[in-house]
Structure 1
Amino acid sequence: MSSPLNNRFEQAYAEFEEQKNAMAEFERRLAEKASTLTAKNRAVSVTVDGQGDVVEISFPTGAYRKMAPAELGALLVETIDAARTQARAGTTELLDSFLPGGMPAFDLLNSSVEFDEIMSQAMRAADRMFSNLPSSGARREES
């Protein structure tokens, strides 16, 4: 026979397993995500991964050969920045599909939300979830 406390723990464990599997799926999909952006003049093409890290720079045409070094450097910086912005948008969309409604995916990715505050909210939610469970002292008295 299962006790209410045991049922709560089983439910919490099942929810934990669901979240763990969802996180693994998110990480898998993020690892597969890549964004490639080519400059308007087609002189440079930049590929970034799901985290916005540059994984490839290519020169699809010979146009870069006619550019001044400063001009090519500026074009690289501009194209990398645009590719990262595009990757962040894709990652935000992916994250939104995994987060519970109302969670600030955009804010999380742009570091405008404090991790400590998110953890505090999670701890308060856990406290509310288990607030009606008997305390350890009450269990000892029942034994």
Structure 2
Amino acid sequence: MAELETVQAAVAKAETELRRASFTVRSRDRAVEVTVGPQGELTALRFLDGKYRTMAAGELAACVLEAAERARTQMSRHVMETFEPFTRPSTGVSELTGVDIDWADIFGPAVLEDPRTAPGRSARNRLRDEINEDTEDEDHHV
């Protein structure tokens, strides 16, 4: 019973933390910055450095969608990492087998892909992701 209560308290703590979580991501071309909330909802959108003024409508839309998708994926992975301990069986109580969660069913199959090797990412983009020119341009979690 004590272990079950410990797990319940840990789940409640994780849920509270996730309710306040957000991720902010810039588009790869650094024209757009989006922030998503705990359910992947878009909570902020910023157009950076006036770049949007010279972009075609479709190009700007693609930047917004790309950044939003990356932020949602990061939030999904954060949820998975937060709840991962509850998917493991208890070492002390054999009846607590852990929760079986189909993350791909909840978030879509892309959430299970390694972000460094996901299909559609060119070597150039992977290299660009590795270059970290300044810390203010990093994607970040709150």
Q: TM-score, normalised by structure 1?
A: 0.59
Match of 1:106 in 2: 103
Structure 2: which 5+ runs fail to align?
90-97, 110-142
In structure 1, distance between residues paired with 2:82 and 2:37: 13
Q: 1:82 to 1:70 in 2, by over 3 A?
A: same
Q: 1:66 to 1:111 in 2, by over 3 A?
A: closer
Identity of aligned residues (%): 33
Query: Does residue 73 of structure 1 match 2:95?
Result: no
Q: 1:111 to 1:83 in 2, by over 3 A?
A: closer
Alignment coverage as a number of residue pairs: 100
Query: Does residue 40 of structure 1 match 2:37?
Result: no
- Larger Rg, first or second structure (1 or 2): 1
Q: 1:18 to 1:111 in 2, by over 3 A?
A: farther
Q: Which structure: greater helix fraction?
A: 1
In structure 1, distance between residues paired with 2:104 and 2:29: 33
Query: Does residue 83 of structure 1 match 2:71?
Result: yes
Structure 1: which 5+ runs fail to align?
1-10, 113-143
Match of 1:116 in 2: none
Deviations 1:8-35 (A, max 9, x none): xxx3xx4553333122101112123211
Retained in 2: the 8 A contact 1:51–1:91? no
Q: 1:49 to 1:97 in 2, by over 3 A?
A: farther
Runs (4+) of structure 1 exceeding 6 A deviation are none
